[in-house]
Structure 1
Amino acid sequence: MYKGVFSIYARYWRAYGGTAALVRSFYLHVALLITVICANAWLTLGWWDQVTAILPNVLGFTLGGFAIFISFGDEKFRQLLAEPDDENDDDAPTAYVRLCSTFVHFILVQILALLFAIIAKAMYFPWADAPAFFQASLPWMNGAAGFIGYALFIYSLTSALAATMHVFRIASMYESFQKSQAEPDGDPR
């Protein structure tokens, strides 16, 4: 029943580079550093309000940007990007799919951060009669949830830089493509 859903996520994850790409991500490392620096923000109750105030606007802008990105360049250029790489197997993602996966990653991280903040806000309520062991661990659980939620939020913002640089990479590739088309032999490679 969910085979198509799992299959498209697996395709995105593979095109993105998987766990190895995530762990090595400069933008993730910067986000974690900023999250640690901003400890006062996520250790304070109500950190989720900042996330829910900012991310919907960023998400709308991102979706519009992705739509524009998809239509970037002329048909020949998009066709060139979608061609399989000669050095890779036929199942390897093309340059076009790899670049789109950056936007998809950016959008997914924003959605995860937003959902996490909404759930954190919904789950926060006073519980005066909680068992003692739970009351003792609650500050630690709140701190851990705050760190995770705020880290997702900051990572969604630093991922904007990653997506921006991928757009710039495509623009540079398009410039090279246009220059090669203007050359006398017209060979785009």
Structure 2
Amino acid sequence: MTNLLNRVYEKILLFRSIIFRGDYRYAMLVGFGDANFLEAMRGKNEDGSPSPYMKLNGTFVHFIIIQSLSLFLASLTRALGISDFTIVFYVGSALFFYSLLTIVATALAVLNFASWFDKFD
């Protein structure tokens, strides 16, 4: 039992360090650009759709949540010893591949936002 608790504690520490590192990257991401650029990208559109700034924020927050959920569930199922069950394997694999796709989506959203900054500057 102690071995299981030690493994869970190690996974929680790893999970926590990854989450906090992600928060710092997020703060750096939304902080680039001067005030004029951010003013142009923020605010509601006339049709009520989200601004490009909010779309980028939503994409990045979605990325952080999915990555965190994926790591947490992988650690939890491994610590509980249920990672070899078929349904857990398929759900975990689907979540893993979806989390890989969120990496691509976030990278493209950041690239798109940076290209707007390059054109604006």
Instruction: Decide: shared fold, TM above 0.5.
Output: yes
Q: Which runs of 5+ in 1 are unaligned?
A: 1-51, 126-138, 179-189
**Cα offset for 1:154?**
2.8
Compared CA separation, residues 174 and 84, structure 1 to 2 (3 A): same
Q: Percent identity?
A: 30
Match of 1:66 in 2: 26
CA RMSD of aligned residues (A): 2.3
Q: Distance in 1 between matches of 2:110 and 2:101?
A: 15
1:101 aligned residue: 58
Alignment-derived partner of residue 71 in structure 2: 114
- In the TM superposition, residue 84 of structure 1 has moved relative to its aligned partner by 1.6
Give the whole-Å Cα distance in 2 for the aligned partners of 1:69 and 1:173.
Answer: 14
Matches within 5 A, 1:10-89: 56=15, 59=19, 62-86=22-46, 88-89=47-48
Instruction: List aligned pairs for 1:154-165, cutoff 5 A.
Output: 154-165=97-108
> How much does 1:123 deviate?
2.8
The alignment of Structure 1 onto Structure 2 pairs a total of residues equal to 107
Higher helix share: 2
Equivalents in 1 of 2:19, 2:76: separation in Å?
18
Deviations 1:99-143 (A, max 9, x none): 100000100101111121122123327xxxxxxxxxxxxx7xx11
Give structure 2 stretches of 5+ with no counterpart. Answer: 1-10
Structure-1-length-normalised TM-score: 0.50
* Change in 2 beyond 3 A, CA 1:74/1:82: same
* CA 106–169 in structure 1, closer or farther in 2 if over 3 Å, else same: same
TM-score for the superposition, normalised by structure 2: 0.74
The Cα offsets for residues 51-88 of structure 1, whole Å up to 9 and x where unpaired, read as: x6xx85765554332111110100111111112212x1
How far apart are 1:153 and its partner, in Å?
2.2
